[in-house]
Amino acid sequence: MTTRLIVSQPLDMDTDIERIVGVYSEADSETFSMDLLDIVRSSEIVRILDANNTSGPGSLRDVLRVCLNLGKKDASLAWIVGVSNSAWSMRSCFHSLESPVPAMECNKLLAMVLGRPGSLKRDYESGKYFLTGEWKYASGWSYSSFFFCLAAVEDTNGQDIRVVAVPAEQLELIEGWQSTGLRGTQSVTVRAKGIEIPASNMEDYNRILSGKNRARGKAGGNEKHASYSGLFSGVLMNCLLGSMLGATEAGLEYVVAAADKRPVTGCTYAVMGDSGAIRVEIGRLYSSLDLYKRAAEYNADVIDKAARDPEITLTTQDRVDCRARATLIMRGCVDTVQDLLWVYGSAGLDKGNPLERIWRDVNVGARHGGFSKLVPEEAAGMATIGRDPKALTRMF
């Protein structure tokens, strides 16, 4: 059932995946246990996109493969790993932050929210900055060592936006995760109240988006040392795809396994596999999911090539197309799971049935703000007819 992705991951990635999956239990579906966290926090698969490694970062293809495999066990687990990799690509843009940061070495999991900015108040006497704000959907914050967020410097009319790295324990929880899906992510709302931020823990967001913070080569002065600076929106979109694709594939495999065991109520078919209509539907869903995985690979390849060759400049159309494809993949996962439930029947929505949890997780994850409310499609449409999508969104 699984179609292997062609990647260049280090040899120990499969071992790390096996170790994490091996310790995972159903109790981790609500909040991760310390046994699970001990392994995840020490694993290199949560920081594949760390450009500060001597050999440079891994690839988005690597992240996609890892998250797809973890997503087959638990979409929340894969989601946290995807978010952490996104945050590590952002951390690589912080040239003044000490490297390595001891806390990040002890706990490699990072969290990040790039939603509505908080505020940075500057004390002109001391030159210090103080962070105040609230951030929703802080996936994995309670598991992480550092939290990355946006904040606007006061009295700049929102023109000076910084990415801020905050030790996670300095933030306070103000609202728990209420959603019915992705329960294990604990995507809570957090608050900062006048936290002092050193200059080394801030970077200009516009410089990052423009690629001016591109990581400098560390392997013998190699000018083509890979860097995802300036490609961040593409990184974020694609880091989140694997979890939903993995969960959807797990749902398909569950229904396929039941095809020669489960009867079709109200007819003469002894098992679902005897029905030509059901066989056709399973074949269609298998082929559709394979197409979504190929689209995810293509998206990753587009970003990976640009990260590895400074001479490649993605056009606005390239960027909005990546986001639009990612959105279609997410919507495709929702449609696939819905159709799998139609084939399997209402028992698939019984509490405790694997399809029920997959249905909840995919419906929540696919509606992440980066993919929802028709913004990606409209941005692609604006670029196609020659209008500037930046008038609508900067997330591409």
Q: Are residues 277 and 359 in the same domain?
A: yes
Let me know if residue 83 belongs to a domain.
yes
Q: Are residues 199 and 320 in the same domain?
A: no
Q: Are 148 and 87 in contact (CB under 8 A)?
A: yes
Q: Are residues 251 and 181 in the same domain?
A: no
**Residue 305 to residue 92: CA distance in whole angstroms:** 18
Q: Are residues 201 and 249 in the same domain?
A: no
Cα separations in angstroms, 74 against 165, 216, 359, 369: 28, 36, 12, 21
DSSP 173: E
Kindly state the tokens that stand for 239.
């880091």
DSSP 367: T
Q: Are residues 53 and 127 in the same domain?
A: no
Please give the backbone phi and psi of residue 101, each rounded to the nearest 5 degrees, phi first.
-85, 120
Q: Of 26, 58, 91, which residue is a domain's last? A: 91
Q: Are residues 114 and 65 in the same domain?
A: no
Let me know if residue 306 belongs to a domain.
yes
Which domain range does residue 315 map to?
Answer: 232-391
Into how many domains does the chain fold? 3
Q: Are residues 189 and 240 in the same domain?
A: no
What CATH number does residue 194 fall under? Answer: 2.40.110.10
Q: Are residues 260 and 372 in the same domain?
A: yes
Q: Are residues 250 and 376 in the same domain?
A: yes
Q: Are residues 173 and 257 in the same domain?
A: no
Let me know if residue 7 belongs to a domain.
no
Q: Of 207, 224, 241, which residue is a domain's last? A: 207
Q: Are residues 143 and 292 in the same domain?
A: no
Kindly state the tokens that stand for 194.
């006048």
Helix 60-71 vs helix 232-239: angle between axes, to the nearest 10 degrees?
Answer: 20
Kindly state the tokens that stand for 354.
């694997």
Q: Of 157, 172, 207, which residue is a domain's last? A: 207
Let me know if residue 226 belongs to a domain.
no
Let me know if residue 65 belongs to a domain.
yes
Let me know if residue 321 belongs to a domain.
yes
Let me know if residue 3 belongs to a domain.
no
Let me know if residue 216 belongs to a domain.
no
Q: Are residues 153 and 202 in the same domain?
A: yes
Cα separations in angstroms, 295 against 9, 388, 395: 20, 25, 19
What CATH number does residue 305 fall under? Answer: 1.20.140.10
pLDDT digit of tens for each residue in the chain (396 aa)?
544 444 444 447 999 999 999 999 999 999 999 999 999 999 999 999 998 877 779 999 999 999 999 999 999 999 999 999 999 999 999 988 877 899 999 999 999 999 889 999 998 888 899 999 999 999 999 999 999 999 999 989 888 999 999 999 999 999 999 999 999 999 999 999 999 999 999 999 988 888 777 755 444 344 457 888 888 788 988 999 999 999 999 999 999 999 999 999 889 999 999 999 999 999 999 999 999 999 999 999 999 999 999 889 899 999 999 999 999 999 999 999 999 999 999 999 999 999 999 999 999 999 999 999 999 999 999 999 999 999 999 888
